[in-house]
Chain A
Amino acid sequence: MAIAISARSLTKSFGRREVLHGIDFAVEAGSVFGVIGPNGAGKTTTMRCLLDIIRPTAGEVRVLGVDPRKGGPELRRRIGYLPGELFLEGRVTGRKLLAHYEAVSGPVPAGRINELAERLGLDLDRHTRKLSKGNKQKLGLLQAFMHQPELLVLDEPTSGLDPLVQQEFHAMVREARHRGQTIFLSSHVLSEVQQTADTVAILRDGHIIAVESVSGLREGAVRRVRITATGITAHDAVALLTGVPGVGKVEVLESNGAVTLSALLEGPIQPLVRILGSLQLTDLVLEEPDLEDAVLKMYSAQPEEAQ
């Protein structure tokens, strides 16, 4: 499998403050790679190194096979970039701004700009500085996607977008991936990344603390369980559940008449289901595994820092 981005011992210091402590990762061509981590973890710094906006202090970076320091405009034309904080203050319309970026990084297929603007619901004839945050973000996405670059580097792409537009964005990512484009995106929440990404790297305080496939995260993830049963005392129910492998944090929510319990389940669900079969259940909720919890566990050296 070809590698679209690789970083080896990527280190970056600003003055005496080191913000990336030698990170390693590789992104397969044609995949969606998500980086998550709390604010200040180094996501934006990593992305800026890929675009040669800032220069690594040490380590080796290859983007589409080229060192970004040497790739020049030719390399950057093959990349679409959305900055983490997008500022568009000019007294120009969105259409003119996009024409400018097309002139610099083009070519853009005919009709592509209008098609994307329509999908995202963006009025291209308004002055950019009058656009709301969400609409500026749409314009930012548009300039990154329009020339169908081999690689998309998107820093917090859905920030400021309403849920419907977020869905549209996820569709755009899937289409891009289908077309063979590679996507490298960041977020501080996993739920956003898990919908689109194949692989997730977790960055914290300038270290990559885990690189996992989303399906791998799902397997190791924790599900919340809530049951309501009759004909059993709270005490017996707790004892029963606690005996199931992988179940923990059993709590009694209610115990007058029917008993309602909540618990966390890690690992396979079969043993739990077998035990539940012996109960007179009136309600059962087995939640979708919460990858957020799986990730928070990885952060958990100092859980209070992890969002």
Chain B
Amino acid sequence: MKTTLPLFRRAFFDTWRSTLAWAAGLAAAAFLYLPLYPSIGGSALMQDMINALPAEMTKALNYDQIATGPGYTQATLFGLIGFLLMTIASVAWGAAAVGGDEESGQLELTLAHGVRRVQVVLERALALLLRVLILAGMVFVLVSLLNGPSRLGIEPGNLFGAAVLFAGLAMLSGTAALCVGTITGRRIHGIFAGAAVGVLGYVFNAVGRQSQDVEWLLDLSPYHWAYSNSPVANGADWAAAGWLWGIAAALVALAAVALERRDVGA
């Protein structure tokens, strides 16, 4: 009995509960936020309230664009709660993929079987990719469904581009977690690395937008690369998408090389 991609299958199917839970969380966020747009984001009252907030705060939260349907969706779902949930899920999966497996002692047995180390990293990264794509795809579908009823007025093409960036941002954090977890053999190091990419990206964006003196921070923020032009409203910056996905791929390759070269469980 020859099975294709056995490690991928195991990594993907053995975590279906986790995938389902994160999907439910993201769906709940979409259903909570988006239907509120007609009564909150679109109202003149809300715009007055936003105008009354300190400008620094609205910039940090990306609420400066909240008065339009696409801007509202960008700021609340893609830019905040969805970004948070996706990053946590992806980092947790990435850190567990190899580093966590080594730490729990299970990688040793897997490597003693008929597998290549590169194959272990690649198949598990593929499982991470597929799970992230499922979540991002689900968000795309849900926003498309709510687009009409919630009077969001989002262009499907722009939504698609935003979903690609949304998934790319999550993959960047997730592969950073996978890479550092693989290099160190420790899950917690992977989690720190992945969380650092996500959190610093967000913070650099929020701080960098405050004044020209710290604008250079924006260049270091993957969050800013992805979302600076508000892709739900204006379409994706495909070069930014290329960077996100390219770096993620490079991190996976680095992890594969690192595992190939070192002792496991020592």
Contact = CB atoms under 8 A, between A and B. Distances in A.
Contacts of B264: 53-54
Contacts of A85: 105
A72 B120 CA distance: 13
A114 to B, nearest CB: 15
Contacts of A73: 113-116
A105 B105 contact: no
B111 A53 contact: yes
Contacts of B1: 102-103, 106-107
Interface stretch (A89-97, A168-176, A222-230, A288-296): A89-97
A17 to B, nearest CB: 11
Interface in A66-113: 72-74, 76-77, 79, 81, 83, 85-92, 100-107
Interface in B1-28: 1-3, 6-7, 9-10, 14, 17
Contacts of B108: 48, 53, 83
B265 A89 contact: no
Contacts of A51: 111-112
Contacts of A48: 108, 263, 265-266
Interface in A220-257: none
Given A53-B263, A53-B265, A87-B105, A101 B14 contact: no
Interface string B89-117: 00000000000000011101111111110
A54 B115 CA distance: 15
Interface in B50-106: 104-106
Contacts of A143: 109
Contacts of B112: 51, 53, 76, 79, 81, 83
Given A51-B111, A87-B104, A104 B7 contact: yes
B106 A76 contact: no
Contact of A91 (B2, B14, B105): B14
A14 B265 CA distance: 11
- Interface size class on chain B is 20 to 34
A87 B107 CA distance: 9
A43 to B, nearest CB: 14
A91 B114 contact: no
A218 interface: no
Nearest to A77: B114
A55 interface: yes
Nearest to B109: A83
Interface string A40-58: 0000000010011111000
A105 B114 contact: yes
B113 A105 contact: yes
Contacts of A89: 104, 106
A102 B2 CA distance: 9
Contact of A72 (B6, B14, B116): B116
A151 to B, nearest CB: 12
Interface in A101-150: 101-107, 140, 143
Contacts of A101: 113
B109 A81 contact: yes
A236 B111 CA distance: 66
Contacts of B3: 103
Contact of A54 (B10, B105, B106, B263): B263
Contacts of B113: 73, 76-77, 81, 101, 104-105
B53 to A, nearest CB: 46
A53 B17 CA distance: 31
A252 B45 CA distance: 104
B15 to A, nearest CB: 9
A92 B114 contact: no
Contacts of B2: 103, 106
A144 B3 CA distance: 19
A103 B2 CA distance: 6
A224 to B, nearest CB: 41
Contacts of B115: 73, 76, 104
Interface string B112-154: 1111100000000000000000000000000000000000000
Interface of A: 14, 48, 51-55, 72-74, 76-77, 79, 81, 83, 85-92, 100-107, 140, 143
12 contacts: A48-B263, A48-B266, A74-B114, A79-B112, A83-B108, A86-B109, A87-B105, A87-B106, A100-B9, A103-B1, A104-B7, A105-B113
